[in-house]
Every structure is written in structure tokens, then in C-alpha cells.
Amino acid sequence: MTRGEHGISREDISPNALKVMYRLNGAGFEAYLVGGCVRDILMGHEPKDFDVATNATPEQIKGLFRNCRLIGRRFRLAHIVFGREVIEVATLRGHHSEEAEDETTPKAKATGKRDAHGQLVRDNVFGSIEEDAERRDFTFNAMYYSVADFTVKDFANGLEAIEKREVKLIGDPEVRYREDPVRMLRAVRFAVKLSMSLHPQTAAPIKPLANLLTNIPPARLFEETLKLFLSGKGEKTFMMLREYGLIAPLFPQIQPFLADDSCREMQFILKVLRNTDERINNAQRVTPAFLYAALLWYPLEERCQILQAESGLNAHDAFNIASGEVIGQQTKSIMIPKRFSTVMRDIWVLQQRLPKRFGRRAFQLLTHPKFRAAYDFLLVRGQIEGGELLELAQWWTHFQHAEGGKQKAMLNDLKRSEGSKGPRKRKRRPAKRAPDA
């Protein structure tokens, strides 16, 4: 497509991405803006980042840019750093060959390797722009913009997919999912993000192959779930993941709770996701810890009850053991960094402490660093479960915003209303007098 046909202007492109492409072109290499940024500009959206593809090898790229660092093992990438902005530059990929060849040109068929499931574990195979287009995942991501002649090369009818609003894989969907099972998650994410539907051939193999996600490193799936649920469309994304059987391999502990759309567990998760979407769309801060605490709350409650019934543990010990077990089990599927798992535990523990409001406890809880997160968590629980839980959440809503005198009055009213439920002070027994000599 010529400039008049696609309408992309250099004003739509990051100045740093333009600098990278101009320098690569000046050194005699091809350079193209590629992938989601081209798609987003054509759809009238503002790209989040800009990726460049070139026929220069990673080492050649590094030789041209002092602000370059090479990353990755599965496929070597160059990151060109401009302050907070990073332009990712990838060498054009080629098709795999059975035997690696010892060549240094971009055409080298080298270090491509698959595992027993057909998944690519090493992918440093360089090739031409045509081969690179065939290797890309979705049709609308195989469009290349050249700053040299201002054309867009559309190798897989990506513009047609945009017009039909369909997410369509390039090549045989089953083969492509086996190469990289994360493509199933990406298909769902793009469908929700771009308000598209999955092409029937793209959708058909997802349920049968969903279990392949268990072969993906947990650390990578953590990053992917952040993209899924912290995009501002987490609720719709969750429902689509569930529709295609992708919740079970990601969160095996919550799958048994999601049989019914109207059950409290499902409503709780959707409410938290809805609130998270609102915060993100209003440019408010969110933390993955809160989301993960919500997703795993009912498995935690169930495990705690089982430990108490089977082992005779008290509620406090059972809760602590269950917390560790639930987080430990989840990290087998999705790694949760300690900075988030620690906050999850704080939110959970405070659910046990928030009902205990007598004496100085209520004031001490207000000063806890994670009080606000725990209160928000309690509020959603109350809205879903109602009853005493909702009354407790409403009490904390009033208490935290009341003035000092009003807070003391609320505590006195609470003590009178609950009577014997409050903790009683033990009367000190009088000391025994020594017998008279």
C-alpha cells in the first residue's frame, strides 16, 4: 500500500522509532515498523509502543547503537533505550531447518529447536521479510511500514481482518498454538482489546489445546496475566477465557468454583475485575496483589475449613497454613513475586482482624499500611455476600471517616450492642496472704 492508500504519517510514529529506522537504513539495512503499532495506527488508536524489524543481526544492531542491550534466549532481541522509552528491534525471522548451519548472515537457519509438544524453545532463525511475515502470529500483526518509501507491506491480508473485525492466525492454528501456547491467550486479549471476534478456525483448537499452557514457565504466565487483567477490560477478558477453557490451566484452584454464573464466587471475581477496570480507566493505581487475593480467596476459605475439620487445627493456624498452601499451589502455574504474595497475605489476614474492633484494636487497624486494600476487599465481600459481612463493611466505612469523638461513640455503641461478644477483662484474683506467724 502506498502512502495515499494507508494514510500513515510520520507524525503518528515515535520520533525515537524513526531515529532507529533512519540509522538502520543509513547503514544499508532494511528497517520496518511492524506489528501492533502499525495495526493500531490503521485502526485510529494510539500505539502503546513501537517495534522495529530489520535484516541486521542482533550483533550488527548493537554495533550501531551505544544505547542498545541484547536480551532473550528463545529469540535474541535488541532494546534501544531512549530514557523511559524502549524501541524493540528484532531481526527478521526465517523458517526452521532440521539441521543448524554455521553461518553469520541473516539468512542462516540456526538454533531453532522444539520440544516434544512442538513448542519452540529456541528460535534464533533469521530470514527474509516474506518468511518473517509467515512466522508472525496474527494477520493484522504482519503489516510492515517502511520509512524509506512510506509504503505498508501487507503479507497476510491484515487490513481485511481489521475491516472484518476478526482475530485470525497465520497458518495452521493447531501448529501455531503448539509452537507457542501463549498465542491462545493473545488471541483472547486481542479480541477483547480490539472489540473483535475470533475467526472460527482460530477459535476451534483452543479448548482441546488449552492444557498446553501448563508447559509455559510460570514467570512468563505472570506477565501475560497482567496484560490480560490490567488492560481496563479484565471482566470481559475473564469471561472469554472461561468460555474457551483457559481458566483451568491458569488458575486450577478456582476452576471448581465457577460452574454457575450466579454463584457468589463468580460474582465476587467479576465485581473485583469490574472495579479494577474502573480504576484503570480512571487512571487510578491498581496492584496485582489485590486481584490475586480475590481470585484465590474462596479456595483459601475452603482449604482452611478442610484443615480445621481434618487436622483439628485452630482457626488461626489453619488460616496461616492454608494461605501458604494456596499460594504455593498457584505459583506452580503462575509465578507470583514475593512483593505481591506478601501483600496478598496482609489482605487476607486483615479479613480475620477487621471483625475484632474492641478497645484500641479499631484505631490500630486504621494505621495498618494495608488497611485500605483490606477494607476495599471486605467491602466487595460484603456487597456479594450481604448479611453480617455487609454490616461490618458499612461500620468500617463510617468509622474511618468519622471524627475522633464520633469514633469513640461508635465503639461504645458497638460494645453495648454486642454485649457478651466483646472481650472481657479478667479480674485479678487477690493475692493470697501469708499465714500469720
Check if the beta carbon of residue 107 is closer than 8 Å to that of residue 128: yes
Instruction: Using alpha carbons, list the distances in angstroms from residue 213 to 209, 245, 263, 413.
Output: 8, 11, 27, 54
149 belongs to the catalytic site: no
- Phi, then psi, of 126 in degrees rounded to 5: -95, 155
Check if the beta carbon of residue 273 is closer than 8 Å to that of residue 229: yes
**Pick the catalytic residue: 12, 40, 123, 137?**
137
49 belongs to the catalytic site: yes
Instruction: Tell which residue, 411, 376, 369, has the closest CA to residue 397.
Output: 376
Q: Are strands 197-198 and 166-167 parallel, antiparallel or unpaired?
A: parallel
Which ranges of 1-151 would DSSP assign to H, the alpha helix?
3-6, 15-26, 36-42, 58-64, 129-135
Instruction: Using alpha carbons, list the distances in angstroms from residue 160 to 42, 47, 154.
Output: 12, 20, 10
The SS3 call for residue 153 is strand
Classify each residue of 357-383 as buried b or exposed e, where b means 16 or more C-beta atoms within 10 Å of its C-beta.
beeeebeebeebebbebbbbbbbbbbe
51 belongs to the catalytic site: yes
Angle at the Cα of 424 from the Cα atoms of 419 and 430, rounded to 5 degrees = 140
**Pick the catalytic residue: 12, 40, 51, 154?**
51
In terms of phi and psi (left: phi > 0; alpha: psi -120 to 50; beta: otherwise), the region of 359 is left
Active centre residues (catalytic): 49, 51, 137
